[in-house]
């Protein structure tokens, strides 16, 4: 077998291996070999296997029940195939399993309760499948678990309280529209007296930390006033009709939803209408920077938002951005005096993995420079179209490195494709760039316009990178960001009007 291609009969090969080498094979590594077909049940005869890696192939059919025979198995990677059916319940016998990776398949059904026996698990990758039901609370018993990726499935309910006990756990939940958040759910409502449409955040008081989140958000919102901060109308702390505590916050309704839904539309049919053009992205980025600059530098006591991400940036009817969700906000004086805050932050910020500054993960105190880091990541996301937890960011590659490697000469290679479509439509860039280089006199104004767009995009990426460098002391402060981003917008407008 000197060439690995789709013509290999994997079933026969494994059958031979099982017959001749049952007692010898410890690792089966056939990742990214262009293999197709189903995974043969005979793989269960390799009883001494400790690692199976069949990712990035073309396997289909169901996961063989026979894998449950592999009692010594520690790692199973079946990611990036087309496997369907349900997760076999008898895989509960693989009690030594540390890594279980089903990322990007077509698996359906519930997470079987029998898998609660996997107490040695450190990595559970279930993202990009068709799993349903609730996320089981017994996952919180996996004290060694470090990474839980469940994004882009059909889970219902809420993130289990039990997961909060694993302070080192990173949870990836982007794309889960039916999971409403850790501390509560948001509903659209109407005030009967005048018909005003509002957003009502109802706290889930069964969730550990929800009451504190409510108090912190009330405290923060009581002392801030800015056009780019989400306006609170009222707060309610009462008893519901079952005699249980009830707490809610009523906000001004934002008809254009969150920035996250515009950057990453869930419905492909709605994608064209959910497309932000270059000027809109610049304006939103400036709005967000202005809101953070106000919190950091213009409040009586500096406030650190602590949870900046696209889903917490809301857009009104005029596409003006408003930063919301102050449930994790901290007054800077309070943060500096609270020596237990590091542990608290570690347990509460898991839902925003990718935006958390590295110093928080190492026990550092919260600071305005942490918000700067989150802003830098958000800015790169807005103009590349990539989330910081995108599946492409593996083996040391990050959204920071993705953008940094493209500068200075290849900035257009990492720009959000939907943004390029809009720039092409309004004549700001041309797909046939060779023609524009060879025949500059044919349309000199368009060449100048295209060059200016590239300069603006390069400058924006530079700001993003300057905000999310690892060293906090080297990050660009938000008041400077506002000035530089405004200058980029003015420069772009002059070319558009010229």
Both tokens of residue 477?
């402060």
How is residue 474 annotated by DSSP?
G
Residue 352 within any structural domain of the chain:
yes
Whether residues 77 and 109 fall in one domain = yes
Instruction: Report the C-alpha gap between 436 and 457 in whole angstroms.
Output: 19
Q: Which of 252, 281, 302 is the last residue of a domain?
A: 252
Whether residues 109 and 193 fall in one domain = no
Cα distances (angstroms) measured from residue 120 to each of 94, 103, 171, 202: 10, 19, 17, 36
Task: Based on the residue annotation, tell me whether 287 is a catalytic residue of this protein.
Answer: no
Interval 270-319: pLDDT, tens: 444 568 999 999 999 999 999 999 999 998 888 888 889 998 999 999 99
Helix, strand or coil, per DSSP, at residue 326 = coil
Taking the CA atoms of residue 120, residue 102, residue 63 and residue 76 in that order, the dihedral angle to the nearest 10 degrees is -40
Whether residues 21 and 154 fall in one domain = yes
Residue 114 within any structural domain of the chain:
yes
Q: Using only the alpha carbons of the chain, give its radius of gyration.
A: 25
Whether residues 277 and 239 fall in one domain = no
SS3 string, 63-130, reads CCHHHHHCCCCCEEECCCCEEECCCCHHHHHCCCCCEEECCCCCCEECCCHHHHHCCCCCEEECCCCE
Residue 59 within any structural domain of the chain:
yes
CATH of the domain at 239: 3.30.200.20
Report which of 461, 447, 413 is spatially closest to residue 281, judged by C-alpha positions.
461
Per-residue pLDDT band for 233 (boundaries 50, 70, 90) equals confident
CATH of the domain at 331: 1.10.510.10
Q: What is the pLDDT of residue 221?
A: 74
What percent of the chain stands above pLDDT 70? 76
Q: Which of 225, 252, 279 is the last residue of a domain?
A: 252
Domain that holds residue 65: 10-172
Query: Torsions phi, psi of 360, nearest 5?
Result: -65, -40
Q: What is the pLDDT of residue 424?
A: 75
Q: Of 413 and 172, which is predicted with more confidence?
A: 413
Per-residue pLDDT band for 18 (boundaries 50, 70, 90) equals very low
Whether residues 377 and 454 fall in one domain = yes
Both tokens of residue 270?
């709605």
87 strand-pairing partners: none
Helix, strand or coil, per DSSP, at residue 180 = coil
251 strand-pairing partners: 199, 232
111 and 157 Cβ atoms separated by less than 8 Å: no
Q: What is the pLDDT of residue 476?
A: 95
User: Crossing angle of helices 368-384/444-467, nearest 10°?
Assistant: 150
| DSSP result, 221-258 | HHT---TTBPPEEEEEEEE-TTS-EEEEEEEE--TT-B
Q: Of 249 and 121, which is predicted with more confidence?
A: 121
- The total number of residues shown for the chain amounts to 498
Query: Torsions phi, psi of 109, nearest 5?
Result: 85, -165
119 and 97 Cβ atoms separated by less than 8 Å: no
CATH of the domain at 69: 3.80.10.10
The tally of CA atoms less than 13 A away on the side-chain side of residue 35 is 27
Both tokens of residue 1?
């077998």
CB atoms closer than 10 angstroms to residue 437 = 10
Both tokens of residue 225?
């006033």
Cα distances (angstroms) measured from residue 342 to each of 6, 108, 307, 368: 51, 38, 15, 15
Whether residues 243 and 271 fall in one domain = no
From 216, 293, 307, 390, the catalytic residue: 307
Residue 115 within any structural domain of the chain:
yes
Residue 220 within any structural domain of the chain:
yes
Both tokens of residue 284?
């939103």
157 and 134 Cβ atoms separated by less than 8 Å: yes
Whether residues 231 and 315 fall in one domain = no
Q: What angle do CA 154, 173, 328 make, to 5 degrees?
A: 135
Q: What is the pTM of this model?
A: 0.63
Q: Of 26 and 181, which is predicted with more confidence?
A: 26
Give the residue ranges of DSSP H helices in 298-430. Answer: 332-337, 341-348, 358-361, 368-384, 399-404, 417-425
Whether residues 275 and 137 fall in one domain = no
CB atoms closer than 10 angstroms to residue 166 = 20
Interval 324-361: pLDDT, tens: 887 777 777 654 444 444 344 444 443 367 888 888 76
Q: What is the pLDDT of residue 318?
A: 94
87-108 average pLDDT score: 92
Bridge-based pairing of strands 303-304 and 330-331 is antiparallel
């Amino acid at each position: 077998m000197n060439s690995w291609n789709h013509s290999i009969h994997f079933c026969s090969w494994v059958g031979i291996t099982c017959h001749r080498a049952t007692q010898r094979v410890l690792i089966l590594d056939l990742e990214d070999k262009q293999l197709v077909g189903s995974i043969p049940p005979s793989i269960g005869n390799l009883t001494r296997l400790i690692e199976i890696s069949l990712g990035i192939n073309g396997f289909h059919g169901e996961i063989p029940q026979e894998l449950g025979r592999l009692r010594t198995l520690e790692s199973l990677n079946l990611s990036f195939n087309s496997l369907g059916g349900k997760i076999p319940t008898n895989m509960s016998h693989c009690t030594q399993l540390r890594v279980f990776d089903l990322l990007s398949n077509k698996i359906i059904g519930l997470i079987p309760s029998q898998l609660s026996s996997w107490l040695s698990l450190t990595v559970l990758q279930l993202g990009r499948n068709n799993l349903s039901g609730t996320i089981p609370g017994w996952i919180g018993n996996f004290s060694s678990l470090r990474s839980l990726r469940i994004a882009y499935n059909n889970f219902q309910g809420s993130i289990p309280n039990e997961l909060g006990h694993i302070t080192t756990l990173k949870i990836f939940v982007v794309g889960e529209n039916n999971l409403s958040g850790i501390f509560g759910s948001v509903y659209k409502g109407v005030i009967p007296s005048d018909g005003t449409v509002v957003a009502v955040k109802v706290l889930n008081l069964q969730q550990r930390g929800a009451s504190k989140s409510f108090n912190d958000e009330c405290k923060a919102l009581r002392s801030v006033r800015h056009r780019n901060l989400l306006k609170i109308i009222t707060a309610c702390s009462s008893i519901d009709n079952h005699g249980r505590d009830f707490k809610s916050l009523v906000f001004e309704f934002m008809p254009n939803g969150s920035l996250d839904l515009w950057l990453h539309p869930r419905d492909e049919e709605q994608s064209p209408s959910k497309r932000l053009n270059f000027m809109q992205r610049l304006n939103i980025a400036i709005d967000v920077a202005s809101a953070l600059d106000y919190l950091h530098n213009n409040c009586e006591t500096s406030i650190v938002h602590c949870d900046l991400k696209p889903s917490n940036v809301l857009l009104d009817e005029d596409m003006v951005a408003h930063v919301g969700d102050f449930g994790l906000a901290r007054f800077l004086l309070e943060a500096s005096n609270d020596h237990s805050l590091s542990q608290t932050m570690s347990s509460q910020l898991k839902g925003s993995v990718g935006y958390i500054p590295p110093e928080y993960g190492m026990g550092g105190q919260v600071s305005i420079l942490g918000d700067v880091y989150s802003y830098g990541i958000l800015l790169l996301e807005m103009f590349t179209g990539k989330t910081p937890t995108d599946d492409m960011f593996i083996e040391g590659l990050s959204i920071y490195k993705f953008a940094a490697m493209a500068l200075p000469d290849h900035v257009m290679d990492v720009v959000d494709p939907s943004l390029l479509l809009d720039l092409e439509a309004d004549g700001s860039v041309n797909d046939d760039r060779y023609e524009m280089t060879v025949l500059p006199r044919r349309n000199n104004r368009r060449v100048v316009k295209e060059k200016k767009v590239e300069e603006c995009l390069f400058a924006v990426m530079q700001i993003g990178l300057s905000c999310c460098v690892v060293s906090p002391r080297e990050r660009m402060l938000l008041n400077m960001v506002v000035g530089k981003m405004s200058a980029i917008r003015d420069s772009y407008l002059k070319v558009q009007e010229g």
